[in-house]
Chain A
């Protein structure tokens, strides 16, 4: 496996990826393998032609095992794709797995988690976002009044300025007090 993938990605490029992400050379090649498995012909052809910006469609990206059944797969793909469309290049894919690896620092994970849970992309998590978040986490199994109750409790716990929304700072403060966040916000390579 190692030789064929490393031939498609130059050593210099691998070195750069190692500097930019939290992965080792071997892990980057393994990630390339998983990226290629999404659409082998398309990826190989593009990489052999030196085109590292080949994009995987959203429907192809969510075939990754850990994304397939995640209730936030659409948001994850949207946040990590450069053009916010959900389609990903290899760089975007690598970035996603790097942020969601065990080695990534908590601050970085918290920042991306904030982006993922900000459904309306207004740089704050308001009631609407929290309603959507609770519904997705519980698989839309809870009654509206229960969801409202949970959202109220979350805002009581976390909304320091009592304006009905969570800013990035408040959000990071919550996650700093949750050590299991780092272990759970994690996709193993």
Chain B
């Protein structure tokens, strides 16, 4: 057994003779500041640089030149076949680079977004990037719709109208949905004013345009090829495919996007570093002095609030305060819920009362005013005309107006609730706003289904024959209601923008009293509210797409208009947002919102396609009993799928299975994220224990322990001062 050597500390010393510096870890080397030790050569030290190894552009160029020279020399020595392969690989790489540069040149609205980010920060830029993303989706939808539905539909119209048997695609009387002039088969509109009105309501002459379902022909496009009548285009199938498969593609795309972000976001949630993230991720894109100053003010404020919140976390409220807050929040939540339910009740009541006797006497089969009644109304005074106007558009106006009024109401209510943390208050307000918008649209769609139920083969028990509304072309009715909602929503959006931002900014610029005395400022750009607005509009597009093939064209125009109107207003009439919105949270949340809204529309479309019967008098499915019949026919003939698979897909058991599968996928990713968090925590512990071990070894080095203790002393004093101040803050609170 080896005797214990009492000079072990000296032997262990780094300063002892014949130490091989290559065996030392970089950290140890640095700890000891051995670079100053004359016994160690600078050449050895140079390998222990602990900073990031960065090469400047000129150094990289030198290396690249050397690599290219070496590569050329190597190429010369290659065999011919290898030389050709090498050249081929190089040309592919060059082509890919060029293709990438071409793809970049198609970046939509890049300059505008840069300008906005420079002025208002990258958070606001995120909103505009979402608009561009929606524009791309709607553009793809538009191309599919125009290419596969509208174009062939128009071609088939032209052929059939010019054919010898003069087959008419639709009987105008069959539509009979809105303008009573169709009953007489006379001219399409009464006068220019009514014509314009019909443009905004999607009724009358609008119903025989390619905008709506009823215009489209049934059957297939056939050609006489070598004496046989061959089908060259399955129009009904194309209509079904574009309408349904686009939703599936959008859904799959969003699920995939969301799953990757859930993976990242959940992992970060378990290991969040709020202070470091806030300080180290400064927005470098700002190019405006006011925005830059406001940004620093915003971060300073957020940091102060965070320090206060953290000081408050350890403080428990007393029982009486908790009870008071509970009662207060119950009241505020009840008020908000009442606001949402009240809004829905108003327009549901309006649509349902269309079936009342009074209304039925003056309306035609589509619930719109008969010609005679219209004449009577035109003789009445303004107040009654306004009343008629209100009766016609009330549902759309209520939905659109509530989207503007209720969010501001929720924000005010939220300020009374006395949440400790601003993030909690903001989160709850957002949940209320999203629930309100979703509830509005979901209820609107459900009511439309009830209204057209009897026409589509669905009997509702409470609808008596007297009150039943029977639409000859119920698909057009749904499409026209959604079209109305779309237009009214856009008009309300423009009015809100004009009054809320442009006019307010104009008045403030000219009134120092309002600015200086009352302290009123320009409105702040509320990123979350604006994004919810986009979600709402997109839901309307998706809902109406199946029954209005030109909706995507409207969608593209509307989204572009929103982009430029919002941009113009944002650059001159608003202030940057005061609350800090972190991009990764926004991206994940935005994807969630769009996915949920798409799922709601999916359910609506599913109910219609699998349960409702198409109108026998209009549209491409008039000769079928189900919307899925064209697909079923093709599958039956192809013999690829068995009938029972298709039948089972329509049942609720499949929906249940899909929901369970989705839940399992989400659970899987959540578990994965949690397991990674545990791994990170264990690795951190491992690193810390290794460091402790290292410190213990270093303490064997003479002088090192004293140096470490003096550094620790300085750090502890600073920490004590910081802790003392946090304690003072909590005492004040």
Chain A residues with CB under 8 Å of chain B are 16, 18-21, 24-27, 65-66, 68-72, 80, 82, 89, 91-92, 94-95, 98, 100, 110-115, 117-118, 123-124, 127, 133-134, 137-139, 141-142, 145-146, 148-154, 157-158, 160-164, 167-168, 171, 174-175, 177-181, 183-188
Contacts and interface: CB of A to CB of B under 8 A. Distances in A.
Contacts of A184: 122, 281-285, 583
B696 to A, nearest CB: 13
Interface of B: 49-54, 56-58, 60-61, 64, 97, 100-101, 104-105, 110, 113-114, 117-118, 122, 264, 267-268, 271-277, 279-289, 292-293, 296-297, 299-300, 303-304, 307, 310, 582-584, 587, 684, 687-688, 691, 711-712, 715, 718-719, 721-723, 725-726
Given A150-B307, A174-B276, A183-B122, A145 B296 contact: no
Contacts of B58: 82, 89, 91
Contact of B300 (A89, A141, A158): A141
Contact of A137 (B61, B117, B122, B299): B299
Contacts of B283: 184
A157 B275 contact: yes
Contact of B49 (A95, A123, A183, A186): A123
Contact of A69 (B60, B105, B274, B292): B292
Given A16-B61, A148-B722, A162-B688, A180 B300 contact: no
A161 B271 CA distance: 17
Contact of A181 (B51, B64, B281, B286): B281
Given A27-B104, A141-B300, A179-B264, A154 B285 contact: no
Given A184-B281, A184-B283, 16 more contacts: A89-B58, A115-B54, A137-B282, A141-B300, A145-B722, A149-B725, A149-B726, A154-B276, A158-B273, A161-B691, A171-B280, A177-B268, A178-B280, A179-B587, A187-B285, A188-B113
Contacts of B50: 123-124, 167-168
Nearest to A139: B296
Contact of A18 (B61, B97, B271, B277): B97
A11 to B, nearest CB: 13
20 contacts: A24-B97, A66-B285, A115-B52, A127-B718, A141-B296, A141-B300, A149-B726, A151-B718, A151-B722, A154-B275, A158-B273, A162-B688, A163-B711, A168-B50, A177-B273, A178-B280, A178-B584, A181-B280, A184-B284, A188-B113
Contacts of B53: 111
Contacts of A98: 57
Nearest to B265: A179
Contact of B100 (A24, A141, A154, A179): A24
A96 to B, nearest CB: 9
A24 B293 CA distance: 33
B531 to A, nearest CB: 16
Nearest to A79: B54
Contacts of A127: 715, 718
Contact of B273 (A27, A92, A174): A174
B226 to A, nearest CB: 52
Contacts of A19: 64
B279 A134 contact: yes
Question: Interface residues of B: mostly helix, strand, loop or mixed?
Answer: helix
Contacts of B721: 145, 148
A94 B281 contact: no
B450 to A, nearest CB: 44
3 nearest A-B residue pairs (beta carbon): A123-B51, A24-B101, A139-B296
A69 B289 contact: yes
Interface centre among A72, A123, A163, A175 (most CB of B within 10 A): A163
A148 B718 contact: yes
Contacts of A168: 50-52
B584 A180 contact: yes
A98 to B, nearest CB: 8
A162 B687 CA distance: 11
Given A117-B280, A137-B279, A157-B276, A177 B271 contact: yes
Nearest to B286: A69
Interface centre among B58, B284, B715 (most CB of A within 10 A): B284
A91 B57 contact: yes
B61 A186 contact: no
Contacts of B280: 113, 117, 133, 171, 174-175, 178, 181
Nearest to A123: B51
Contacts of A114: 51-52
Contacts of B691: 160-163
B275 A179 contact: no
Contacts of B688: 160-162
A70 B274 CA distance: 22
Nearest to B293: A139
A153 B267 CA distance: 21
B307 A138 contact: no
A161 B694 CA distance: 10
A142 B722 contact: no
Contacts of A158: 273, 276
B49 A70 contact: no
Given A24-B104, A158-B273, A184-B284, A111 B54 contact: yes
A35 B312 CA distance: 50
B299 A20 contact: no
B300 A138 contact: yes
B140 to A, nearest CB: 23
A150 B61 contact: no
A139 B286 CA distance: 15
A150 B122 contact: no
A33 B303 CA distance: 39
Contacts of B300: 138-139, 141-142
Nearest to A160: B687
Nearest to A176: B268
Contacts of B684: 160
A18 B97 CA distance: 9
A72 B281 CA distance: 13
Contact of A146 (B281, B282, B285, B303): B303
Given A24-B101, A134-B279, A179-B268, A112 B54 contact: yes
A154 B279 contact: yes
A167 to B, nearest CB: 6
Contacts of A16: 61, 64
A124 B27 CA distance: 12
A139 B299 CA distance: 9
B299 A138 contact: yes
Contact of B718 (A25, A26, A152, A153): A152
B257 to A, nearest CB: 14
Contacts of A145: 721-722, 725
A113 to B, nearest CB: 7
Contacts of A65: 118, 287
B57 to A, nearest CB: 4
Nearest to B582: A180
Contacts of B718: 127, 148, 151-152
B117 A188 contact: yes
Contacts of A89: 58
